[in-house]
Chains A and B, each alone.
Chain A
């Protein structure tokens, strides 16, 4: 992987973590190309990655939306029943300065995962269907990746487990459908992120934008 100045710039990869230059070479699915110096994974293509990531993103989209409208947890104590939805949980920090916590909780548990699923689906659909990339697909993919640390579905699920133990002595708890949707959702989120090779997707987006526009009549349709 020696780098010479006569290599076309498009064939070079700079390591995002240590700036070392590498020459990009196509590698087999399942293999990984790592930076020579700092061992950051540069390329890691997966078979059928686009259709799988797309399917999981669409599943996430449906799950987050459905989870909002279903009961999440139910508590019974001394004849009193309290049933809460995810929205109730995220908006439980009532008044004053704690509103800031409400806003961030809603964002991290619901809005950011929803937005990421939408953006990924938008960017990956044409790749999976081998169509021309949609306008703004690059922007959608970049924002989806930047939002990654702020989507905290799996952390919220662990938080639920801790909360259950805390109230176990106080009351009886039942899980609502939304709770199970969230468990599935966090597994899907992890699977999507594992199947995404950033470098391959950027190259695929490059390719997909070169494709001729299919069925130009479609663009006129309202």
Chain B
């Protein structure tokens, strides 16, 4: 643990502090909502301590309050938390190599701690960022739930404070460095488009998992990604113009994409590039597994 304290610096603490403040506001609103839905303060706190997953907590209480049974509530909550599995796979040893570090660290695996860790280049800094943001979130969330439960509905609708916009914006800031790599950006934006298009028709939690389809569009890449100049060449291999995405982009939720550099709907590919690579035409008629096998042979290429 001591190395973590040597690695963290003031900017990281400040960033984590900003996020913890937003988490506290949401935690307070969960406490207030839980009490309004008929939970005792102690149940709300117990749930926050042992589950520690904001989205799932809101969903479970919401489903129960709406008259859904406990089984439906738990299934919905776990469906929402399924994304933690691939997050954990991506983190690997980030929490620490020891079993104890993984046993404890897994409890503070949330979207924000994953995003903070992935935003660091250096593994040592990633570990520090993971623990500091995860523990800070835990320490902000649980007392806030108690305060919110005690205050009842005094806080009112947190949307008034714009907190609902703070979390997506924080994620933008955290994933932006990774999105500067062309193939990652392509995978992420195609995935996001799929997720937004699927949101009106799939139960909560599923659309985000469906976004993993986007990763297929990064497959020809891994070796090349680490050599900046070649990323553009790899980009042409999987231009999304002839993929399934344009059809999905007409789906209900996709229309009002915010005009930011990340969010721009046509930011994910260079349509003209499709003709520049002789193999593009056949690339998309293959299945993902064939292409995966293909990548194995291709890697020594550059």
Interaction A to B: no
Residue numbers of B with Cβ under 8 A of A are: none
